Amino acid sequence: MNSKKDLNEKYISFLEQTKGEKHKSVTHLNDRVLIVDGLNTFIRSFAVNPSINDDGLHIGGMMGFLKSIRYSCDILKPSRCIIVFDGKDGSKRRRKIYPEYKANRKVKRRLNRNVDWGTAPQDEEASMRQQMGRLVEYLEQLPLTLISIDGIEADDTMAYISQQLLPKSDIIIMSTDKDFLQLVDDRVKVWSPTKKKLYNKKAVFEEFGVHSHNMLTYRILDGDKSDNIGGIKGAGLKTLQKFCPKISSIEKFDVRDLLEFVENSDSKIKLLENIKKSSNLIKRNYLLMQLNKVDIPNHTKMKIQGAINGKVPQLIKYKFQTMFLKDKLSTQIKNLDTWIMEFSRLDRFRGLNG
């Protein structure tokens, strides 16, 4: 568990990151929008948080999620928070491109090793389902916009909102998924809740040695083990920078530029030869990983627009408190009145939609 000293140091580090950034005053609901990768946040919370309530039930997924959202809202100070979950059959489009996409994503037993599931009142998978359902009920009492649309993954919904629907808003995407780093620019940033780090363009380059506008090219070559997407053999970052230095250039170096570069190269370097022989894999990975221009049907876009343009739900504090007491969560949040104040702040922005 993090000590108070560790948390203070992370908070100070975050302040240092954002010290040079200027935030305009909020005059509209969508001025500064936090978009949360819902399932990413829940799975991470469930996997690492061993909290139980007074009845001995594991509540780590639910409580970890709520605490993570509240903490992020507290230090990022958004005017609006949108939480996006994968819709039913959300991966269908990508599986048509690559049938093995996310084939390694089945929930494994003993996900949370800090909980003795052999003696717990419910098994792990049942606990995940129960906590997710109850979490949504809690979120519905808070001034948050929840979106989950059948046939589309959260990544595509989040990208569509940040790139097409809210093109003038300052956007912060909350996720540990590196795919979102390709969207970072002067307006869009990515918040890593595990690292407590806000990725702007400078932070992306400092950590990866690749500018955000070239992150997609790097990710296509590297692959994504979490989604079961293979990359090019030998395409580690340092090797790429050595033999394909344009990937670290300030200039845009997209997939088309990459393929042209290796095609025109007469070098016998193994990496470049591997890239040259793997054009089909590269094109496949591009279709699976790119988020700048997501491929979603018009009727799906209309549903997302409706959710974004609709009224933000009101904070219903008494219902949240009633559920909180019923679920015996007081051991996790000592002072609910103080804890919920950050959502009261968000609630005040609901009327700024003119």
Contact 204, 248 (CB under 8 A): no
pLDDT of residue 109: 42
107: exposed, middle or buried (C-beta count within 10 Å: 0-12, 13-18, 19+)?
exposed
Segment 155-172 shows an average pLDDT of 97
pLDDT tens-place string over residues 151-162: 999 999 999 999
Helices (H) and strands (E) in the chain, counts: 16, 6
pLDDT > 90? residue 9: no
pLDDT > 90? residue 62: yes
pLDDT of residue 78: 97
pLDDT > 50? residue 123: yes
pLDDT band with cut points at 50, 70 and 90 for residue 351:
confident
pLDDT tens-place string over residues 300-310: 999 999 999 99
pLDDT > 60? residue 178: yes
Q: Which long-range contacts (CB under 8 A, 24 or more apart) does 59-64 make?
A: 59/131, 59/327, 59/329, 59/332, 60/112, 60/115, 60/131, 61/127, 61/128, 61/131, 61/132, 61/135, 62/131, 62/132, 62/134, 62/135, 62/138, 63/329, 63/332, 63/333
The mean predicted confidence, pLDDT, of the chain is 89
pLDDT tens-place string over residues 138-148: 999 999 999 99
CA distances, 275 to each of 52, 219, 239 (Å): 49, 13, 13
Q: What are phi and psi of 300, to 5 degrees?
A: -70, -40
Segment 234-245 shows an average pLDDT of 90
pTM: 0.89
pLDDT tens-place string over residues 262-294: 988 877 889 999 999 999 999 999 999 999 999
Q: State how far the Cα of 348 lies from the Cα of 306, in Å rounded to an integer.
A: 21
pLDDT of residue 130: 95
Give DSSP secondary structure letters for 312-338: PPPP-HHHHHHHHHHTT-TTT-S-HHH
Segment 295-302 shows an average pLDDT of 94
pLDDT of residue 115: 53
DSSP state of 143: S
Segment 146-175 shows an average pLDDT of 97
More confident residue, 22 or 136: 136
Contact 244, 271 (CB under 8 A): yes
297: exposed, middle or buried (C-beta count within 10 Å: 0-12, 13-18, 19+)?
exposed
DSSP 3-state of 147: strand
pLDDT > 70? residue 6: no
74: exposed, middle or buried (C-beta count within 10 Å: 0-12, 13-18, 19+)?
middle
Query: Nearest 5°: CA angle at 21, between 20 and 23?
Result: 145
pLDDT of residue 117: 46
pLDDT tens-place string over residues 309-345: 999 999 999 999 999 999 999 889 999 999 999 999 9
pLDDT of residue 331: 86
